[in-house]
Amino acid sequence: MPVTVTPQTFNYVFYDAELIRSIAAGLLGALGMSDHEVFIDVDETTPLARINCTVDDAIHIHADSGAFEDTRKPRQQSETATATSLGRVLLRARDRLVGGFGEAPADDDLTLAQVAAWETYCIGRLQRFGVPVNQQRWRYNFRNRHGFSDASDAAFEQIWQSEGLTWGELNAISDTSVASSAH
């Protein structure tokens, strides 16, 4: 299925719509999701790094331009940031579609700890797909939501290395980590 990127020509940032499309298509193939139509809308007017995804008949991704930006070169696109940002929302979409995450709350209803746990799960899998990631960045994000403790680090490692978790399993690991850090 096709991947459509909007806008086709960027005016405020130096991004390449074809590169975004190509990275998304490659990820869809690697994730076994090539049969899904994807629409990627990039808001180039904001440097924020938010990215979200909705799924209906197609996958709709809305990204603020900072999600694809090279942090060392403002307004320049980073292939790695593009792959990481797209990969994590595509994995969340796949989890919801076929991966035992049907009972997961809507993205807006997730707690910060749940978001951090799910992102850890996605980024760990992306790394195994060959996308270069900064594990320490994601470990720090996880610790900020689950506490700076040995139990939190063990939960991070368990989630990072996991394949085939369900929402219930992921949420239980997250909840246990939060509870052990509260003591």
- Per-residue pLDDT reduced to its tens digit, 86-119: 999 999 999 999 878 989 999 899 999 999 999 9
Position 7 confidence tier, pLDDT thresholds 50, 70, 90: very high
User: What pLDDT band is residue 180 in, cutting at 50, 70 and 90?
Assistant: confident
Residue 47: what pLDDT? Answer: 92
Q: For residue 133, which amino acid is it?
A: V
> 169 CB contacts (<8 Å, ≥6 apart)?
none
Mean pLDDT of the chain: 94
Domain boundaries, the chain: 3-98, 107-182
pLDDT per residue over 64-91, tens digit each?
Answer: 999 999 999 999 999 999 999 999 999 9
The per-residue pLDDT for range 18-50, each reduced to its tens digit, is 999 999 999 999 999 999 999 999 999 999 999
CB atoms inside a 10 Å sphere around CB 21: 17
**Residue 49 near residue 64 (C-beta atoms within 8 A):** yes
Cβ(159)–Cβ(165) under 8 Å?
Answer: yes
Burial of residue 61 (CB within 10 Å: 0-12, 13-18, 19+) is buried
pLDDT at residue 136 tops 90: yes
**Residue 178 is encoded by which pair of tokens?**
């939060």
Contacts of 69 (CB under 8 A, 6+ apart): 13, 47, 49, 75, 76, 77, 78, 81
pLDDT at position 99: 76
**Per-residue pLDDT, 26:** 96
Residues contacting 127, CB < 8 A, separation 6+: 133, 135
Question: pLDDT value at position 183?
Answer: 58
pTM comes to 0.92
Cα 114 to Cα 66, 121, 138, 158: the distances in Å are 23, 11, 13, 15
